[in-house]
Structure 1
């Protein structure tokens, strides 16, 4: 999710499409939050690790 967010963010900035930039930023933030919660041991959606 983080990688997809970065790709969409870069494409959105290069092409100038603000929708892609927004979606990429949201995916980047959500992926980072899920990664941090999974790394600290909190269960996310019934799983101990989020991959």
Structure 2
């Protein structure tokens, strides 16, 4: 259960990479997905939980 944030981050980054390569016309949505993944990583780091 603790690692669910990392699973979400990995899924979001993979989705971003696939979308960036497969659908370059949808750039805005793809970058929003990347920003959400980064926010989850920062939240995980700021809460002081073990990586």
TM-score normalized with structure 2 length: 0.54
Q: Which has the higher helix share?
A: 2
Aligned length: 41
Unaligned runs of 5+ in 1: 42-48
| Higher radius of gyration, 1 or 2 | 1
| Superposed CA RMSD | 2.2
RCO (CA 8 Å, sep 6+): is it higher in 1 or 2? 2
- TM-score scaled by structure 1? 0.54
Q: For structure 2, list consecutive stretches of 5 or more residues without a partner in the other structure.
A: 1-7
